[in-house]
Amino acid sequence: MKNVAIGIDIGGTNTVFGIVDEDGNCLEKKSLLTTDFPTPEKLVKAIFEQIQVILISLDGINTVGIGIGAPNGNYYNGTIEYAPNLKWKGVVNLIKLFQKYFDVPVYVTNDANAAAIGEMTYGVAKDVNDFVVVTLGTGLGSGIVCNGELVYGYDGFAGELGHTIIEENGRECACGRRGCLETYVSATGIVRTAQIMLARYSKPSVLRDVSDEKITAKSIAEAAKKGDSLAQEIFDYTAKKLGFSLANLVAITCPEMIVLFGGLANAGESITDPTKKYMEENLLLIFKNKVNIVPSGLKSGNAAILGASSLVWNELKKENFEKVELN
Amino acid sequence: MKNVAIGIDIGGTNTVFGIVDEDGNCLEKKSLLTTDFPTPEKLVKAIFEQIQVILISLDGINTVGIGIGAPNGNYYNGTIEYAPNLKWKGVVNLIKLFQKYFDVPVYVTNDANAAAIGEMTYGVAKDVNDFVVVTLGTGLGSGIVCNGELVYGYDGFAGELGHTIIEENGRECACGRRGCLETYVSATGIVRTAQIMLARYSKPSVLRDVSDEKITAKSIAEAAKKGDSLAQEIFDYTAKKLGFSLANLVAITCPEMIVLFGGLANAGESITDPTKKYMEENLLLIFKNKVNIVPSGLKSGNAAILGASSLVWNELKKENFEKVELN
């Protein structure tokens, strides 16, 4: 019998899930449109039904647990709490919902924390005790590992790097405040930068030929790659904001490595190189030329599922550790 | 026999040291002027001679270790590394210097980390797993505890909150950069604010009656306490900068408690109340009304010695833990 974990990533748009073994192989996966489900109960039921089909099709496996990454997922409570990107409001008790169908332990955290544990388990941060994962998607999240352990903080909400304020009276943020890092550095932030730059400058750009609503992080990245100078400036501005913030983060937790993860991070060196340059420019002397910025080591199509599934192996490791300690 | 630890705090101006028992009682203490010693070798020899005298005078004690807090003290290397506030340059190997005279383990860290372990051991943070100590002295330091462990970071320099940049192109800092938090929030930072405010505004203030070089954090605090409105504005400005920074720090590590420690923190509610107000104003919704800001719980005259000595008990605790784990 081969031990496997179920990894589930609940996103604002898509929910993906799959069966993952201890080596990080995703044996089978499926996805659903989160927005198709008016209540979390209905989504969980649909996930259960699809997983049942997968489990029957796989021979010789033993499911040891379920790991879930979700927006505003709280590790301590096993809940989603007031997630602005989901239409289900208030507090959703995921553990309770899943244990109606599954007789294995269920662990919940947010997607950025899941990504960090994923990098520790199967990715670029194996044997790295101090690192940070920055997820660049619709928003900006972070998972922070210190002394080999994920930092959840007092009540499970640590790692909100995207909601550190980098500009007093800066851009309005969905959180109700202004100047949060994610209003500049995220898929939506870079589009806002593009809109402002297109309006402010008159230099030609292929971005002027597409309608406003078609400007996306991806189209900006493509234009930059093709040498469009305005698109390159947009990337540079984004990297400057991120590099500045990372320099401040390094001063606080002093990581060995910063891992960039998610959509915008797929731009590769177009984002890592200038980010590294601006981070170095802003670093305190004792930190200079020490911190690597690297892309995620999780297979891009399965990264979210791998991250979520890794929660299970991480909890098993902690349990074994405690058992040894008690003997 | 009673177990005791030697606690040594090496500061830019004074070096204080004493003998501390496991309950945090400082049995005896002494001090030296750091600036009297042209080399670290000479200071260590002088400390040894004075401690010898103390140890002989105390009956029935067993010294289990030496803990040292020092500027730019590095826990991993047992060194002071390029401390701008000391006249000894380069890297000073404290463990080597002390082990010439003492046959017990020697542990080194910076003063802010020592303060954090001190609060965990004898102060307000017993049984608190996630908290931050902010030391407000000549500069601003921080010791960060996550999951019950001090965050040293990859190479021992975590917790440089004072060198996070809060103002692009802000005040010049001794570190060579601009806009670091400690150029605004520290004993020297508040004096700079006073100088600027006295020049900018014309309203009367008792601070106008003292010569420029006599304006100190203490005289500003006293004026504010007596109702001097300009002095109160200076405090308010300082608290605003600190509150803003702490709100960003909370988003990253999500502590249960923030402890203010050191000279400027002695202003008590004049600094904690407005700091708390501005922190709350800047906090992301999920963190509001959750984080306490409290003054240090270490006896003020002995706080630095207690902090340094607590390193020893903390290491013994870790060793015992590992022993149990290996059995």
pLDDT-above-90 percentage for chain A: 83
Please tell me the distance in Å from A316's CA to the nearest CA on chain B: 17
CA distances from B242 to A77, A108, B44 (A): 31, 33, 36
Chain B residues inside the 8 Å CB shell of A142: 252
Show the 3-state SS of chain A: CEEEEEEEEECCCEEEEEEEECCCCEEEEEEEEHHHCCCHHHHHHHHHHHHHHHHHHCCCEEEEEEEEECCCEECCCCEEECCCCCCCCCEEEHHHHHHCCCCCCEEEECHHHHHHHHHHHCCCCCCCCCEEEEEECCCEEEEEEECCEECCCCCCCCCCHHHCECCCCCCECCCCCECEHHHCCCHHHHHHHHHHHHHHCCCCCHHHHCCHHHCCHHHHHHHHHCCCHHHHHHHHHHHHHHHHHHHHHHHHHCCCEEEEECHHHHHCHHHHHHHHHHHHHHCCHHHCCCCEEEECCCCHHHHHHHHHHHHHHHHHHHHHHHHHHHC
The answer, yes or no, to whether residue B326 has pLDDT greater than 70, is: no
pLDDT of residue A49: 97
| Per-residue pLDDT at A242 | 98
The pLDDT, as a whole number, for residue A193 is 97
Per DSSP bridges, beta strands B131-136 and B257-261 are: parallel
Q: Burial, A206: exposed, middle or buried (Cβ in 10 Å; 0-12, 13-18, 19+)?
A: middle
Determine phi and psi for B324, rounding to 5 degrees. Answer: -60, -45
Q: Any idea what the CATH number is for the domain that residue A10 is in?
A: 3.30.420.40
Lowest mean pLDDT among B77-86, B137-146, B160-169: B77-86
Tokens of A158: 């640590």
Residue B102, token pair as written in the block: 């003492």
B322 and B288, same structural domain? no
What tens digit of pLDDT does each residue of A222-253 get? Answer: 999 999 999 999 999 999 999 999 999 999 99
Q: Which residues of B touch A161 (CB under 8 A)?
A: 251-252
Let me know whether B104 and B159 are in one domain: no
Nearest to A302 by CA among A133, A118, A140: A118
Per the structure, the count of domains in chain A is 2
Residues B269 and B131 in one domain: yes
* Partner-chain residue, chosen from A154, A164, A254, that has the shortest CB–CB distance to B256: A154
In this prediction, residue A323 carries a pLDDT of: 65
Chain A nearest CA to B207, separation (Å): 30
Instruction: Kindly report the nearest CA distance between residue A159 and chain B, in angstroms.
Output: 5
Residue pLDDT, tens place only, A135-150: 998 899 999 999 999 9
Query: Residue B186 has which token pair?
Result: 């520290």
CA distance A158 to chain B (A): 5
Tell me the shortest Cα–Cα distance from A261 to chain B, in angstroms.
Answer: 18
pLDDT tens per residue, range A38-92: 999 999 999 999 999 999 999 899 999 999 999 899 999 999 998 877 888 899 9
What is the rounded average pLDDT of the residues A184-198? 96
Instruction: Evaluate if residue B26 carries a pLDDT over 70.
Output: yes
Provide the percentage of residues in chain A whose pLDDT is more than 70: 98
Chain A residues in contact with B255 (beta carbon < 8 A): 153-154
Q: How many CB atoms lie within 10 A of CB B126?
A: 10
User: Does A327 score more than 60 pLDDT?
Assistant: no
Taking CA atoms, what residue in A is nearest to B285? A175
Q: Say what the pLDDT of residue B117 is.
A: 96
> What confidence category does residue A10 fall into, taking pLDDT thresholds of 50, 70 and 90?
very high
Each residue's pLDDT tens digit, B93-119 = 999 999 999 999 999 999 999 999 999
pLDDT digits (tens, 9 = 90+) for B224-278: 999 999 999 999 999 999 999 999 999 999 999 999 998 788 777 888 899 999 9
Cβ neighbors of A159 (< 8 A, separation 6 or more) are A110, A112, A113, A141, A142, A143, A144, A151, A153, B252, B254
Q: Do A100 and A237 sit in the same domain of this protein?
A: no
> Across the interface, do A149 and B151 touch by the CB < 8 Å criterion?
no
Measured from the Cβ of residue A52, the count of other Cβ atoms closer than 10 Å reads 12
User: Taking CB atoms and an 8 Å cut-off, how many pairs form between chains A and B?
Assistant: 144
- Closest partner residue to A176 among B146, B158, B285, by Cβ? B285
Closest CA–CA distance from residue A160 to any residue of chain B (Å): 5
User: Which residues, other chains included, contact A12 with Cβ-Cβ below 8 Å and sequence gap of 6+?
Assistant: A34, A35, A71, A85, A86, A138
Q: Count CA atoms closer than 13 A to A235's CA, side-chain side.
A: 30
Q: Indicate which of B146, B183, B237, B278 best probes the interface with A, i.e. most A CBs within 10 Å of its own CB.
A: B146
Q: Enumerate the residues of chain A whose CB falls inside 8 A of the CB of residue B164.
A: 248, 251-252
Q: Do B251 and A153 touch (CB under 8 A)?
A: no
The DSSP 8-state label assigned to residue B314 in this structure reads H
Residue of A nearest to B141 (CA): A252
Of the pLDDT bands very low, low, confident and very high (cuts 50, 70, 90), residue B283 is very high
Contacts of A152 in chain B (CB under 8 A): 147, 254
- The stretch A165-172 carries a mean pLDDT of 96
Domain shared by B155 and B55, yes or no: no
> Would you state the pLDDT for residue B229?
96
- Identify the domain containing residue B286 by its residue range: 127-295
- Residue B298, pLDDT > 60, answer yes
Contact A175 B290 (CB under 8 A): no
B248 neighbourhood in chain A, CB within 8 Å: 164-165, 248
The per-residue pLDDT for range A22-37, each reduced to its tens digit, is 999 999 999 999 999 9
Give the closest residue to A247 by CA, choosing from B134, B183, B286, B181.
B181
Contact A244 B284 (CB under 8 A): no
Q: Which residues contact A162 (CB under 8 A, 6 or more apart)?
A: A139, A140, A141, A142, A180, A181, A182, A185, A186
Minimal-distance CA residue of chain B relative to A162: B251
Residues of B in contact with A147 (CB under 8 A): 146-147, 149, 151-152
Mutate to test the interface with B, among A252, A282, A321, A322 (most CBs of B within 10 A): A252
Per-chain mean pLDDT for chain A: 93
Please report, rounded to a whole number, the percentage of residues in chain B having pLDDT higher than 70: 98
- Asked if A121 and A75 touch (Cβ cutoff 8 Å), the reply is no
Identify from A150, A154, A281, A288 which residue to disrupt to test chain B contact, counting B C-beta atoms within 10 A and taking the largest count.
A154
Q: Are residues B76 and B29 located together in one domain of the fold? A: yes
Residue A321 has pLDDT above 70, yes or no: no
- pLDDT band at residue A322 under the 50/70/90 scheme: low
DSSP label at residue B71:
T
Report how far residue A95's alpha carbon sits from residue A102's, in angstroms, rounded to the nearest whole number: 10
pLDDT confidence tier of residue B322, bands split at 50, 70 and 90: low
Structure tokens at B50: 């004075």
B189 and B139 in a common domain: yes
B6 and B75: one domain? yes
> Residue A79 half-sphere exposure, CB side, CA atoms within 13 Å?
14
A267 in the same domain as A165: yes
CB A207 within 8 A of CB A219: yes
Task: Order the strands of the B257-261 sheet from edge to edge.
Answer: B149-150, B140-146, B131-136, B257-261, B292-295
Q: What is the pTM of this model?
A: 0.93
Helix (H) or strand (E) holding B42: helix B40-57
**For residue range B40-52, what is the model confidence (pLDDT) as tens digits?**
999 999 999 999 9
Same domain, A51 and A108: yes
- Residues B156-212 have pLDDT tens digits of 999 999 999 999 999 999 899 999 999 999 999 999 999 999 999 999 999 999 887
Q: How confident is the model at residue B324 (pLDDT cuts 50, 70, 90)?
A: low
Closest to B258 (Cα-Cα) out of B112, B156, B154: B112
Going by pLDDT thresholds of 50, 70 and 90, the confidence category of residue A196 is very high
Write out the H or E segment, with its range, that includes residue B232: helix B229-253
Residues A288 and A311 in one domain: no
Q: What is the pLDDT of residues B53-76, one digit of tens each?
A: 999 999 899 999 999 999 899 999
Six token digits for residue A19: 């069966």
- What letter would DSSP give residue B23? T
Contact: B82, A282; criterion CB under 8 Å: no
Asked if residue A265 has pLDDT above 90, the reply is no
Residues B109 and B89 in one domain: yes
Q: Which segment of A206-215, B9-18, B278-287 scores lowest on mean pLDDT? A: A206-215
Which residues of chain A neighbour B147 with C-beta distances below 8 Å?
Answer: 146-147, 149, 151-152
> Does residue B6 sit in helix, strand or coil?
strand
